[in-house]
Amino acid sequence: MTVGVFGLGRFGSFWASLLSERFSVIAYDRDPDIKPPQRVRRVSLEALGNCPIVFLCVTIRAVPEVLQVIAPYLAKNTIIADTCSVKVLPGKWLLEYLPQETPILATHPMFGPESAKDGLEGLAIMIDPLRLDARQAQFWEDVFAGLGLTVVRMTCEEHDREAAYSQALTHFVGRSLYRIGLPETPIATRWYKKLHSVAKQCVRDSHVLFEDMQTLNPFAQEMRRRVVQGFIDTLQDLGDPSTQQLIQIDEKIREEPHDRCSE
Amino acid sequence: MTVGVFGLGRFGSFWASLLSERFSVIAYDRDPDIKPPQRVRRVSLEALGNCPIVFLCVTIRAVPEVLQVIAPYLAKNTIIADTCSVKVLPGKWLLEYLPQETPILATHPMFGPESAKDGLEGLAIMIDPLRLDARQAQFWEDVFAGLGLTVVRMTCEEHDREAAYSQALTHFVGRSLYRIGLPETPIATRWYKKLHSVAKQCVRDSHVLFEDMQTLNPFAQEMRRRVVQGFIDTLQDLGDPSTQQLIQIDEKIREEPHDRCSE
């Protein structure tokens, strides 16, 4: 069986490489200079659209454009599987921009090259068979389980609700701490070392992915509001004179939506 | 050799227990009902003041009062060693409230019962021989190293400057996140699990310790200002409309000192 990958960036190359341990993998990238991983063969859009499944490994914001690029080349039964870090909006785009008959599998591998470098055991992949028959959904669930992954079936909405914390919060906090320059010190505690490693890890992902996680997940704004509230409460405990101002910000965040989900 | 411990709270009991593996340990606590750990014998203040070294294991804010309580009972050569999580202010108090001839060793074991439960290897203890001859300082350095600890000699000021991050920042962030109720989810990433474990750990320590870390470390306020600045910058990246208000808070924090170091 041949598996297709659209996009050979950091995640796409990693994902293609992982799949190539089980399948014959072909890939497309609009950049002709990008070098595919070992065992992965670069092909044209025509060839990609003819294989049984194509995983989209592109930035979230690029999905609508990529769907319009690939749609004309899709064979009738080619499954399109996205791998986006948010799911509600890409799910809507998949159903909207793809031909009526194209089967659709929403997936989110909850890991990247860094967290997977010591093996896949204990790592999770979320799947939502948005438009896929039960037999094919089970087939892909078994494939992912066969790789050693924990497969979690949930709706795109459940995913975004939980990922607003498990992912968007982690990156929001990690990036905010990283930029103030957490020092290395011989008196680091075990817990500071953990926090430091989280901050260092978060900035390995692209800033575009970070922005998309924060602004294209419909639950991320509420998460940020709650994080600000958490800091307000802590500063209040400490009798910090700036608490009143933080409460005003909090009200501002409640009033003015600034994510792009509502655009 | 007999070692004394003043205070049998969570840390004092742990510390007394640890020392009892090498030394005969006697302890005092003002609460007559508190049960000492195995191998540790409760004694009067008179007996405690006569042993070669007494470790103070009390809340930071209690140090001035405790020093006044114990001072009249101290034998001429009894070393007083504090174990406070901040060092500049307790160091000043030790020099101020103890008799001129009392030898003083400032220490900060960078761990507690939780982080030490799998052994002491890789854990650090900071020491600053504030008023101690070189031979005795070396003796205690060797004792701590003999327990498997990494001994870090630095001044109390260096300690507080670095602990404002390695400790106060970790607890500031951990407590603020814990109170918003980080959810458990099957799609937790490796990094979210780490962040979650840090938040859960921070709230095991008492709220009094948390407050003292934040308000009695002369560098903690500047740390909190920088954390707020980090969030400002991140929200600014995201085009968040509340950025302007956060900048006002930041200016407020700069203007109005609200720690207790300057009292």
Averaged pLDDT, B17-40: 95
Q: Please state, in angstroms and rounded to a whole number, the distance separating the CA atoms of residues A145 and A138.
A: 10
Confidence band for B117, pLDDT divided at 50, 70 and 90? confident
CB contact under 8 A, A237 and B211: yes
Q: Which of A150, A177, A236, A244 has the highest number of chain B CBs within 10 A, making it the mutation to test binding with B?
A: A177
CA of A43 vs chain B CAs: smallest distance (Å)? 33
CB contact under 8 A, A124 and B187: yes
Identity of the residue in B108, B226, B246 whose CB atom sits nearest the CB atom of A249:
B246
Q: Does B188 touch chain A (CB under 8 A)?
A: yes
Q: Which residue has the higher pLDDT, A56 or B260?
A: A56
How high does pLDDT run on average in chain B? Answer: 91
CA of B258 vs chain A CAs: smallest distance (Å)? 6
Q: Please state, in angstroms and rounded to a whole number, the distance separating the CA atoms of residues B87 and B126.
A: 10
Q: Which of A125, A179, A231 has the highest number of chain B CBs within 10 A, making it the mutation to test binding with B?
A: A231
Question: What's the fold here for domain A2-154?
Answer: Rossmann fold (3.40.50)
Domain residue spans of chain B: 2-154, 161-255
Identity of the residue in A170, A183, A188 whose CB atom sits nearest the CB atom of B195:
A170
Buried b (16+ CB within 10 A) or exposed e, B172-191: bbbbbbbbbebeebebbbbb
The fraction of chain B above a pLDDT of 70, given in percent, is 91
CA of A45 vs chain B CAs: smallest distance (Å)? 32
Q: Does A154 touch chain B (CB under 8 A)?
A: yes
Task: Tell me the per-residue pLDDT of A190-206, one tens digit each, with 9 for 90 and over.
Answer: 999 999 999 999 999 89
Averaged pLDDT, B168-193: 95
CB contact under 8 A, B188 and A166: yes
Q: Does A241 touch chain B (CB under 8 A)?
A: yes
pLDDT tens sequence for chain A (263 residues): 999 999 999 999 999 999 999 999 999 999 999 999 999 999 999 999 999 999 999 999 999 999 999 999 999 999 999 999 999 999 999 999 999 999 999 999 999 888 888 888 889 999 999 999 999 999 999 999 999 999 999 999 999 999 999 999 999 999 999 999 999 999 999 999 999 999 999 999 899 999 999 999 999 988 998 998 888 889 888 876 545 545 555 556 556 555 666 54
What is the helix, strand, coil percentage profile of chain A, to 5?
Answer: 50, 15, 35
Helix (H/G/I), strand (E/B), else coil: B192: helix
Averaged pLDDT, B205-216: 93
